A and B are shown apart, each in its own frame.
Chain A
Amino acid sequence: MPHIVCCVKQVPDPEAPASQFKVDEAAKKVVPIPGVQPVPSQFDTIGVEAALRVKDKVPDTTITILTLGPDAYKDTIKHCLAMGADEGVHINDPSLNDADHWATAEILAAAIKKLEPVDLIICGRQAVDWDMGVVGSTLAEILGLPVVTIAKDVQMEGGKVTVERVLLDGFETVEAPTPCVVTVSNELGEPRYPQLRQIMTAARKEVQVLTASGLGLDGAKNRVNLEALFVPETAVETEFIEADSAREAGEKLAVRLREAKLI
């Protein structure tokens, strides 16, 4: 019975208006926007979609959602369960809350060892908050597993995965033996949306909670220090082309760009 673990993170909604984005520089944290709920990181739900596509073909596949974060992260687990995943595991311990990418990978690896046997671990190519894009690869190195990054298609069959990767000017097909780690990109396609019945079922599902001591960990062993977090200055003075019609504006723009020697 194939077992896929999807690592999923919860993030501030990236679709929130950019004008409301604020940083508390002293706390080195992003200020939550009132009334805007955090969401599952999009690349991670695309990872769940990739796992569900495997399960669509091999129905006895078990998909476990694994997350690391405070209480509110249970919403993200529930969302992924409602998408069609089978089990939820929530690493929830205040001593692990400020893990950097290395510590995150180390903590996830410890949890994955508890969930073995595991055939495939899927992560998003990067989280949409920190945009670092390294947890999947780091996790693979810690577990000593092969890794394939930036996938647009993932097939699992007969002890191997076949992955189509996105390159800058095309695509590459690679094969890796299971168990392995795959990180997925948006080219894979939209994640499916939970149906009401699935949402109800997921709400009742028990989620396993793991703590640092349960994983044999003594806090988050960070390897980078966040020295500063700030909003960069974008001091651009915009010259709006004033005109009575779109047509006139288009013509004026051409003249203006010629004057500015840009065309």
Chain B
Amino acid sequence: MANGVLVFGEAAEDGTLAPVTGELIGAAKSLGGPVTCALLGAGVEGLAGDCAALGADKVVVVDDPALKDYLGDAYVPVGERICKETDPAVVLFGQTMMGRDLAPRLAARLGTAVAMDCVELSLNGDKLLATRPCYGGSARARYSFSGMPQIATLRAKVYDPPERDPSRQAEVVKQPAGVSADSLRVKITGRRKEAVEGVRLEDAVVVVSGGRGVGGPEGFQSLEELAGLLGGAVGASRAVCDLGWYPVATQIGLTGKVVTPDLYIAVAISGASQHMAGISQVKNIVAINKDPEANIFKSSRFGVVGDWKEVIAAFTEKVRELKAG
């Protein structure tokens, strides 16, 4: 009989445990039952203790050079094996690059289905109810599943990680990947980083974000100046990235990044629902827009109706003055 929750943790680029892992363990704990955390990658063995400290009852580590970079063809069979051995009622992934690719493929292999990008999970007996935004964030859909295991991916920063307790121990099981070279049909032949300087958007306490109404790439200089002053990062709407005004890696929204700063300053952003999907957990949104009917105001704590250039210039000057004082 299926029981417990299996979560697929992730390592961050710097080799530490990615924050999403704690959030997944937190979500799994809220559902109840034993929590197994799977860690796939190269050089991830040392992170098992962190998973235990965060509350995992068991950690399955597959530390193998073959899993260094995420590649579906390598990860899917390993994930499938762990799912079958663990026999969980629920399997959780982050809505990350890995989760987006791996969860639906694993669901298909296991003869079940998946609910993506969930913002709320509850368990009734062993029946999972998974609630997720749809229609670009305008609506929420709640799903149940016909089969087992019930698979979901979680939107970032919705669930809190459990309190760390370094004294906690977990059963740690090490496995080889056992991936044969001929099963790898897709091959990674190159990779390039899009350099974005300064504070990472995902970690920023303040985000200053620009939309199409900024009018062109040059407008972003004043947003960068303001973000620098506030110790924050600059983000952009999808329209801005599609127009090539600002790097793709700064895109916030459904198809970009999810951010959760304490303060989000939306400059000349209309607030298309697909953009709102990236800031749905932000409590303090400040919107500056010349259109008083702009959708962004509906979710904003503070609003200024006016020309963004003038507002931001005066705002930046005043912030500088206040910071100096």
Contact = CB atoms under 8 A, between A and B. Distances in A.
B318 A167 contact: no
Given A137-B104, A142-B108, A231-B139, A256 B187 contact: no
B324 interface: no
A249 B318 CA distance: 11
A263 B264 CA distance: 11
Given A236-B299, A253-B311, A263-B322, A246 B306 contact: yes
B97 A138 contact: no
Interface stretch (B51-59, B142-150, B171-179): B142-150
Given A131-B254, A223-B145, A18 B295 contact: yes
A143 to B, nearest CB: 10
Contacts of A231: 138-140
Given A131-B134, A170-B193, A257 B263 contact: yes
A249 B295 CA distance: 20
Contacts of A229: 134, 139-142
Nearest to A250: B314
Contacts of A196: none
Contacts of B288: 253
A90 interface: no
Given A131-B133, A227-B129, A250 B190 contact: no
Interface string B242-284: 1000001100001101000011000000011110010000001
A82 interface: no
Contacts of B206: 263
A237 B141 CA distance: 25
Interface string A233-254: 0101111110001111111011
Q: Which size class do B's interface residues fall under?
A: 35 or more
B238 to A, nearest CB: 6
A240 B116 contact: no
Nearest to A189: B242
Interface in A196-255: 222-232, 234, 236-241, 245-251, 253-255
Contacts of B297: 238, 240
B73 interface: yes
Given A229-B140, A250-B311, A223 B300 contact: no
A251 B134 contact: no
Interface in A137-153: 137-138, 140-142, 146-150
A225 B277 CA distance: 23
B155 to A, nearest CB: 11
Interface string B131-167: 1111110111111111100000000000000000000
Contacts of B312: 250
Nearest to B323: A263
Nearest to A187: B248
B314 A247 contact: yes
Contacts of B129: 227
Interface string B13-43: 0000000000000000000000000000000
A225 B315 contact: no
A241 B289 CA distance: 12
B136 A228 contact: no
A110 to B, nearest CB: 15
| Most chain A Cβ neighbours within 10 Å, of B187, B193, B255 | B255
Contacts of B319: 254, 263
A174 B186 contact: yes
B123 interface: no
B126 interface: no
B194 A170 contact: yes
Interface string A1-35: 00000000000101000110101000000100000
Contacts of A226: 141-143
B203 to A, nearest CB: 13
A249 B298 contact: no
A35 B310 CA distance: 38
B314 A241 contact: no
B2 interface: no
B141 A250 contact: no
| Most chain A Cβ neighbours within 10 Å, of B147, B285, B322 | B322
A111 B319 CA distance: 61
Contacts of A249: 304-306, 311, 314
B310 A173 contact: no
Interface string A164-185: 0011111111111100100001
A167 B273 contact: no
Given A175-B186, A223-B113, A250 B304 contact: yes
A78 interface: no
A129 interface: yes
9 contacts: A12-B135, A18-B273, A133-B104, A134-B104, A227-B143, A236-B300, A238-B303, A240-B304, A251-B315
Closest 6 CB pairs of A and B: A250-B314, A141-B108, A134-B104, A254-B318, A223-B113, A246-B310
